[in-house]
């Protein structure tokens, strides 16, 4: 039996095709979910892909949060369905209050695009079980508003309860000024994860990050999707 992973397309989404390809390479069946359709078509997991939903008007993710598909996703996430938000998808998840905090303009006020080292802080979520806690992975990053912010109490809780999933690491360090070098977080249940870097761009040798000491094949991103598939097939 093949798992079905839905990938949401909003107006302005850029990476939905890449995400569906990643799902296919991981061994699941990708299902396109349209923003105006509240029907999730019996998928087992959901990916909110990167881009500029609704042109980032008003605020990144703020309009997408009210799309009909999001009402169904919020309900499904509450039941425990795995949901992954990548870049703009992460922003949408914070706007929908499925994840804490907010993503603001990069500290240096510039768009940044590079291969980014991440350190895995939590491998007990639906999207990270294939990783080893403490390992460093290489994932492409491209954002202008990836600066994670939250009030001190929220940050303390996220840190204390192990809800920080990834931190920026490596020689280049923090690319956008995020508090505590936070690159990705999870909800308390561990089924909803958001991160700024793009794992769907690191799923096949020769088409991902430049091979190096952290990742010889450039395929660290594939483990996000195989983790979720294993979670829903258990």
129 CB neighbour count, 10 Å cutoff: 17
Assigned CATH topology for domain 4-233: Rossmann fold (3.40.50)
So which residues are the catalytic ones?
A: 87, 198, 200
Q: How far is CA 49 from the centre of its chain?
A: 8
pLDDT at 35: 97
Separation of alpha carbons 211 and 5, rounded Å = 28
Span 106-164, pLDDT tens digits: 999 999 999 999 999 999 999 999 999 999 999 999 999 999 999 999 999 999 999 99
Q: How far is CA 40 from the centre of its chain?
A: 19
Rounded to 5°, angle at Cα 105 from 202 and 220: 15
The domains of the chain are located at 4-233
pLDDT at 111: 96
Residues of the chain with pLDDT below 50 are: none
Contacts of 75 (CB under 8 A, 6+ apart): none
Helical ranges in the chain per DSSP H: 16-26, 68-78, 88-95, 152-160, 222-233
């Amino acid at each position: 039996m093949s798992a079905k992973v839905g990938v949401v397309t909003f107006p302005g989404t850029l990476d939905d095709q890449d995400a569906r390809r990643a799902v296919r390479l991981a061994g699941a069946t990708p299902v396109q979910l349209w923003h105006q359709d509240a029907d999730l078509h019996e998928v087992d997991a959901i990916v909110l892909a990167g881009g500029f939903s609704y042109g980032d008007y008003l605020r990144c993710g703020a309009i997408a949060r009210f799309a009909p598909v999001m009402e169904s996703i919020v309900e499904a996430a509450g039941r425990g369905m795995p949901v992954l938000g990548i870049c703009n998808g992460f922003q949408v998840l914070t706007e929908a209050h499925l994840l804490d905090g907010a993503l603001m303009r990069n500290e240096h006020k510039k768009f940044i695009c590079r291969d980014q080292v991440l350190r895995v802080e939590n491998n007990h979520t639906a999207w990270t079980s294939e990783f080893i806690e403490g390992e460093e992975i290489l994932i492409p990053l491209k954002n202008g508003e990836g600066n994670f912010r939250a009030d001190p109490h929220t940050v303390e809780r996220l840190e204390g309860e192990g809800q920080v999933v990834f931190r920026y690491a490596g020689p280049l360090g923090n690319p956008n000024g995020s508090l505590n070098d936070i690159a990705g977080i999870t909800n308390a249940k561990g089924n909803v994860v958001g991160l700024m870097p793009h794992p769907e761009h690191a799923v096949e040798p020769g088409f991902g990050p430049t091979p190096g000491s952290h990742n010889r094949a450039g395929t660290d991103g594939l483990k996000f999707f195989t983790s979720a598939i294993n979670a829903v097939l258990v």
